[in-house]
Chains A and B, each alone.
Chain A
Amino acid sequence: MASDTLSVTAATTMPDAPEPGAAPRAPKPPKRPRGATTFVNGDRVSRVGMVITTAALLIPTAYFLVPVLWLVVASTKSTGDLFSTPGFAFADFHLWDNLVELSTYDDGIYWRWAFNSVIYSVIGSALTAFVCALTGYALAVYRFRGRNVLIGIVLGSMLIPGTVIAQPTYVLLVNLGLNNTYWGILLPALVFPFGVLLSFIYAQSSVPIELIEAARLDGAGEFRIFAGMGLRLMSTGLVTVLLFAFLGSWNSYLLPLLVLTDQELMPLTVGLTGWSQASITIPGLQVLTVVGSLVSVIPIAIVFLSLQRYWKSGLTAGGVRG
């Protein structure tokens, strides 16, 4: 669902926006001690209104944060305490034991899954971004027969939802003998029309044709110009493509579930849900699922939130010409 959400929003006709996070901080009115109103960006704002609104925001904020908080607290509990102590109260601190158990259970299969997730996401997103960059660059820089058809196909195919073709893709992979292989997961993910569109938009606005002409006069080949200049000029947009491709692969569930039967090849999503299912008969797996979920969320949350600047601007810019 996530990738669908994004793929369609690219077509919005959002005008260019200033980067939200960097919006100018509300300047505090100088020396206006206890007035009933205050000024923010030149707007008159009632103090009372501000306090009430900010207080009211605590409710949705609690809704968004509390489940994550529970995950953190639950990760520190032993199996017994998980069921016998109140959800948000810390019991005996078992986080370390849980992590050891997580690392050793089933010969450390968890880290194998984590490794697979990283392989699928890192290699997959790098290749995806490269394919998207090549295509977007060519669409922006060259005029060739079939260009408009290709643009139409890219736009149209964003409407094809990924999960609907998961089953047919699985059938195809079986026919190609690629089921239960790394390639079976990596290759289908490389088709990322939204990424092509973003790259196209970025190349259009950031690769000046004069520069290409100059490079040509210097005798550089077309591919050399792309690799040396094009990629660099498009880099901000490509970070966005990279991040969305990364997230798409990291979250991917249905296709790996269908395609992979070998435990050793599974990503975290499939592995952890397998544990959750098995925990009906093996209660110890409950805690491992909790800890495993927490460990799997932390790196992606850090990466994603720290790179917000890039993908937010990419989203906004993506809408400029969509």
Chain B
Amino acid sequence: MTAVTARPTASRRRFNGAGKPWVPYLFVAPFVLLFLVFLVSPIIVAVWNSLFSQQSSGLGFGGTTTAFVGLDNFARALSDQDFLVSFGRVALYGLVQVPVMMFIAATLALLFDSALVRGRRFFQFAAFLPYAVPGVIAALLWGFLYQPSVSPLIQALSSIGVDANLLAPGTVLWSIANVSIWSYTGINMIIMFAALQAIPREIYEAARIDGASDLRIAVGIKLPMIAPAVLLTTLSSIIGTLQLFNEPQVLKNVTANISSDYTPNMAIYAASTLGKDPNLASAMAVILGVATLIVSVIVLRLNNRTTKRASDGL
């Protein structure tokens, strides 16, 4: 935290390499090079590959040839019922998982920011611990807790006469959502809490003198003031939802109710490995990338507007 004071650096003169103008380029060269090779060119490769198709000639004896097929792969992907359903699935998932997680994270952050909680360090540690568990391991762990043969949860429920099946076709999506909520509530809570702690306390004094209750202050003042933090954590969670892969892919091992194209990312993985159609997979990846970009832009727009309104209001 040292020296993060606002310094008027922007207006100050900075050197262009002390008479050696190539120096800055030398400094940024590794990043730029890696960026071009491992971020730009995969995108180009994906778009390029999505326009071709492997075609086996004859009865499959003549090997395969690569032919230009235009937008065929995109048409195939978009007419693939399962692929489309997977988008609907993650949309439904996101509509529930993101608000629930944000609600829990914001509530915890507000509680920790209030003077009402004793032993805050311990409670924060507990909420944060799951984030230190890699997502894949978290899914493995919950996978055990979902299986009737080992799960203490299901055993406890059945002892009081409730026959729970956490891996049933209708419930498994929410079991996956639970893994994500468990994993990522803590980090979102920490980010919101840090934003809350940065608000000058005097603002609350004024509200309190006007007779506002703690709840009123939390909802009416604190939340709007951390709106940018809340919305940007929401944005990243929405993007994360579209990318959903690790948790369902791991839980797929313990239930037959998760298909290999359960989410868009799983469909891409399945097409490029199981289906052995890398061209179709590339088209799917491009579609998913574009969808993600559109969602990001929409949320960022909303964010800008809300942030502006919040700052106008003050």
Contact = CB atoms under 8 A, between A and B. Distances in A.
The finding on whether chains A and B are genuine partners in a shared complex, rather than unrelated, reads: yes
Contact of A17 (B7, B197, B233): B197
Given A8-B233, A57-B111, A86-B152, 5 more contacts: A1-B180, A63-B182, A190-B38, A253-B249, A312-B194
Contacts of A14: 191, 194-195, 198, 228-229
Contact of B17 (A21, A222, A277): A222
Interface of A: 1-2, 4-9, 11-21, 23, 26, 40-41, 43, 45, 49-50, 53-54, 57, 60-61, 63-65, 67-68, 70-71, 74, 82-83, 86-88, 131-132, 134-135, 137-144, 147, 150, 153, 157, 159-165, 167-172, 175, 187-188, 190-191, 196, 204-206, 209, 212-213, 216, 222-223, 226, 236, 250-251, 253-254, 257-258, 269, 272-273, 276-277, 280, 286, 289-290, 293, 296-297, 300-301, 304-305, 308, 312-313, 315-317, 319-320
Nearest to B119: A54
Nearest to A65: B126
Given A1-B135, A144-B16, A273-B253, A206 B2 contact: yes
A70 B209 CA distance: 48
Contacts of B91: none
B136 interface: yes
Interface stretch (B62-70, B76-84, B143-151, B161-169): B143-151
Contact of A320 (B4, B46, B130, B228): B4
A67 B152 contact: no
A49 B155 CA distance: 35
A236 B2 contact: yes
Given A45-B116, A67-B141, A273-B250, A143 B30 contact: no
B237 A5 contact: yes
Interface string B4-41: 11110100111111101101111110111011011101
A185 to B, nearest CB: 11
A170 B282 CA distance: 11
B35 A153 contact: yes
B134 interface: yes
Interface string B47-83: 0010000000000000000000000000000000000
Interface residues of B, number: 125
Contacts of B14: 140-143, 209
17 contacts: A1-B180, A6-B236, A15-B195, A20-B124, A53-B116, A61-B126, A70-B141, A143-B16, A159-B239, A162-B243, A167-B272, A187-B37, A190-B34, A191-B38, A254-B246, A272-B136, A319-B229
A291 to B, nearest CB: 12
Interface string B110-146: 0100111111010111111111111111101111110
A165 B132 contact: no
A5 B104 CA distance: 16
Contact of A305 (B13, B18, B132): B132
A276 B281 CA distance: 26
Given A1-B243, A83-B149, A297 B121 contact: no
B285 A142 contact: no
State the 7 A-B residue pairs at the shortest beta-carbon distance, nearest first.
Answer: A87-B152, A138-B27, A40-B115, A168-B46, A17-B198, A1-B240, A168-B42
